[in-house]
Amino acid sequence: MKLNRRRFLQSAGAGLGALGLGAAGAAQPATAAPAPTTASGVRGTTVGLPGNWRAMRKFDVHNHVFLSGRRSETDWADADALIEAADALGIERLFCSRPITGGAMANIDTVRNANDSIIAAMRRHPGRIVGYCFVQPGNGAAALTEIDRCLDAGMIGVKLYNQFKYTDPVVFPVAEKCIQRRIPFLGHSAYLTDPKTLALQPKTSHALDFCALSQRYPELMLIMGHVNGGGDWEWAIKGLRECSNVFLDTSGSVLEDQTIEFCVRALGHKRVLFATDATMEGCVGKVLSADLTDAQREDIFWRNFQGILDRRTA
């Protein structure tokens, strides 16, 4: 869903204040607060937010850019507001895609146009916006050619939505292309539990679908998108426990307490990747407020994903 980030920045003053942002974005002293109680019942040692939270390096592994207008008259508001929000929150790099949502197949020209908008945003904000190539496996060989085109333009991975279950054999050539090019495969996910949503999104993949794909392709750098993006997130985390090659990103608009701690306990912090999926302030806050060591927080914020990127040139 498209988010007007400029409106977000204008209306989020109270929330930004809670993160230590003043009206002009200047650093503010961390406000003392009772130390959080961990899941084990032991009261932690962190009081308020880390004083240097904005300076902590952060890679947003899962975000989006939605440009509008004709090629000669592009409306850059969404891309520019994304960078404005990232600056306010200390996010260094944003890994973005332009998925075509809904269950219907799009033709390859529509897919190319979506990817072209990301390439344009990358050129407008070099080094800040980095692209995932969105494809629909049902486009067959054209989807694989599109991946090569996007990588040649500077993208670093592939993004799939919910048009096909990731256990469907039609997805396998995309996974194999990702292995061949040593790039990550980021997949939309949810463990949907209500009949209405299931009927609308019957091909949405959940944790066990990711596990099955990972077991078929253990060398695939597979990322399950937005743990807090829909449905029963605790079930989703537990579903990845036996699939050590699947990473999990922390994004999503659900901001329930203890999500990050639950991820770390179940999977270990090395498999957890910071991401926002456009819930930028809340997702920074849930990592900052989690009961983590400084080294764990740094790994989640950027180092774990840097390790994935490094595999491409290893």
Q: What percent of the chain has pLDDT over 90?
A: 71
Domain count of the fold of the chain: 1
pLDDT digits (tens, 9 = 90+) for 40-85: 333 344 457 788 999 999 999 999 999 875 554 578 999 999 999 9
Burial call 61-88: b when 16+ CB within 10 Å, e when fewer: bbbbbbbeeeeeeeebebbebbbebbeb
Residue type, 150: C
Rounded Cα gap, residues 289 and 283, in angstroms = 10
User: pTM score, two decimals?
Assistant: 0.85
Residue 28 lies in a domain: no
> Is 225 a domain residue?
yes
Residue 175 forms part of a structural domain = yes
Mean pLDDT of the chain: 86
* Residue 137: CATH number of its domain: 3.20.20.140
Q: How far apart are CA 60 and CA 243, in angstroms?
A: 23
Is 45 part of a structural domain of the chain? no
- Alpha helices, DSSP H, located in 125-203: 141-152, 172-181, 195-200
Q: How far apart are CA 192 and CA 292, in angstroms?
A: 29
Query: Is 150 inside any structural domain?
Result: yes
Alpha helices in the chain (DSSP H): 5-11, 13-18, 77-89, 108-124, 141-152, 172-181, 195-200, 207-216, 233-239, 259-267, 280-288, 294-298, 304-311
One-letter amino acid of 83? I
How far is CA 36 from each of CA 44, 118, 238, rounded to the nearest angstrom?
6, 40, 23
pLDDT digits (tens, 9 = 90+) for 172-183: 999 999 999 999
